[in-house]
Chains A and B, each alone.
Chain A
Amino acid sequence: MIQLYNVSKVYDNGVPAVSDISLRIAKGEFVFLIGPSGAGKSTLTKLIFREQLPSSGQIFFRGRNILRFGPREVLQLRRQIGVVFQDFRLLPRKTVYENVAFALEVIGRSRKEIRERVPAVLARVGLSGKEDAFPDQLSGGEQQRVGVARAIVKRPLVILADEPTGNLDPDTSREIMDLFEVINRDGTTVVIATHAWDIVNRMRKRVVALENGRLVRDEERGSYSYGA
């Protein structure tokens, strides 16, 4: 699904964010990107989303080099990737329903399709009955569920989440991670950058560890602890 070959990214101010990373993520995998702050986790997700271009190296999505994509192909790429943010990034003046529907609206889906899919997705993330609530009337966990619903409503091949539980308490974090696991079980590839060591240890998924922009560990069924 996603392949990175010797990818490096140096920001304009000369700070290297990731160095010489090679990584393969297969279809249907569940991958944790872990490491301390500034290790390059966010940069890596941005590179996959083509929000940023690497300084060197190649990145492939479904066998195609995304660095050679034109604007139209970049759009197609982004429509196949659902993104979840630490700060949820919901539109405060739209209701839960509208926030999720927005994801389909902006890619030009029909109203009929929107009417069918949004309630189904909201039910799936456990938000039935909250359709007309505004984000500030929801708890953090519920807001993140809206964020997840918004990411999956367009049926992406990959979910990319950058610290999705960073603003949530441990119990809520676990619920959100369980949600990701359910989504993954249906065949969606899930990539999560996170600090939440307890969750990583509990879930026993593939762990890719970064330190100072370098890939230091890549284990199936791994844990957070270094050198384990």
Chain B
Amino acid sequence: MALNSLWYCTRQACISLTRNFWLGVASAAMIAVSLIILGAFLLVAVNANQFMRIVESTVEINVFLEDDADVRDLQHRLAGLRGVEEIRFVPKQQGLQELKKAFGERHDLLSGFEGENNPLPDSFRVRAERAELVPTLAQQISFFPGVYKVRYGQEYVEALVKVTRWVNVVALGAVVLLGAGAVFLIVTTIRLSMVARQDEIGIMKYLGASNWYIRGPFVLEGMVVGLAGACAAVATLGAGYYYLVVVLERLPLLFFIQPVTDPNMLLSIFGGLLGLGLLMGGVGSLISVRKFLQV
């Protein structure tokens, strides 16, 4: 029985799909476009995340100490903060060495400041677990006794956090709008199929067909359209992303941008897009079918 019903569903779905071929194509294309945009933003997001993680590992808070600071006590307090990954004490001599290194060939400019004349304070280098924790941590640390000044790549970190947040909001908005449009098109496609078979549906109800038996072919039709759109989206995105990765590898200037190539991550994104396409198709046809079955 189940096999018979499945066969019936498939046959009817195929008939409907060929009957309204171009509308089906339009719906699939709409789904493809919205999924491509969603996928592109997802890819940007995972890459931005990876980029942030790389940046984070270099974002340090410089904590400069007063001359009479209690180094042990401070170290304790810093270690007690939430979100601190690593603490490194930099005595003033080492600070000077590092500064000299930064000056490169002109390090002789600093030659007068050694020993007693070193104007640099002792300091801690604190690394945060995540970039967005840096501003809060820095503020907390600045209130500790014995802390003279706290510095970090403030603008840099804040800008990065802000940009990713905005990208997320815009992406989400676009995806919701386009997704709604795509679902609406599916609803229209399925409704046309149903109108074409209205008499048959009426007769089926009189003959005692279950609602699922009537719905089946339409839901299947919607899901096929959704899946077709999703496949197109995944193919486009996959090819585009692959091309981008290859191009970036060839450009030594952009060596610091390392695109995500982890196959698990990419597979779950593409797999998710396919699933979403199916879901949109299914939901669209269910919306369409609902009002036809009220008897």
A residues with a Cβ closer than 8 A to B are 49, 51, 71, 75-76, 78-79, 83, 89, 91, 102-103, 105-111, 150, 154
Contact = CB atoms under 8 A, between A and B. Distances in A.
18 contacts: A75-B208, A75-B210, A76-B208, A78-B205, A78-B207, A79-B208, A89-B202, A89-B206, A91-B200, A102-B203, A103-B207, A105-B4, A105-B8, A106-B204, A106-B207, A107-B207, A154-B207, A154-B208
A218 B205 CA distance: 31
Nearest to A79: B208
Contacts of B4: 105, 108, 110-111
Given A51-B295, A78-B206, A89-B203, A106 B211 contact: no
Given A51-B295, A71-B211, A75-B210, A108 B1 contact: yes
Interface residues of B, number: 18
Main secondary structure, interface of B, reads helix
A89 B202 CA distance: 9
A110 B295 contact: no
Given A78-B206, A89-B202, A107-B208, 20 more contacts: A75-B210, A78-B205, A78-B207, A78-B208, A83-B206, A89-B199, A89-B206, A91-B199, A91-B200, A102-B207, A106-B204, A106-B207, A106-B209, A107-B207, A107-B209, A108-B1, A109-B1, A111-B4, A150-B207, A154-B208
A110 B208 contact: no
A82 to B, nearest CB: 9
Nearest to B213: A106
Most chain-A CB neighbours within 10 Å: which of B208, B210, B213? Answer: B208
B5 interface: yes
Most chain-B CB neighbours within 10 Å: which of A71, A83, A108, A154? Answer: A108
Contacts of B5: 108
A110 B5 CA distance: 10
B211 A110 contact: no
A103 B203 CA distance: 9
Interface in B164-210: 199-200, 202-210
Interface of B: 1, 4-5, 8, 199-200, 202-211, 213, 295
Contacts of A111: 4
A83 B203 CA distance: 10
A-B CB proximity, top 9 nearest:
A106-B209, A78-B208, A79-B208, A108-B1, A103-B207, A83-B206, A106-B207, A106-B204, A107-B208
A154 B206 CA distance: 12
A113 to B, nearest CB: 10
A91 B203 contact: yes
A106 B206 CA distance: 10
Contacts of A150: 207
A79 B213 CA distance: 14
A35 B60 CA distance: 94
A81 to B, nearest CB: 8
A145 B76 CA distance: 95
Contacts of B210: 75
Most chain-A CB neighbours within 10 Å: which of B8, B203, B211? Answer: B203
Contacts of B200: 91
A162 to B, nearest CB: 11
A106 B202 contact: no
Nearest to B197: A91
Nearest to B293: A71
Nearest to A156: B208
Nearest to B204: A106
Contacts of A71: 211
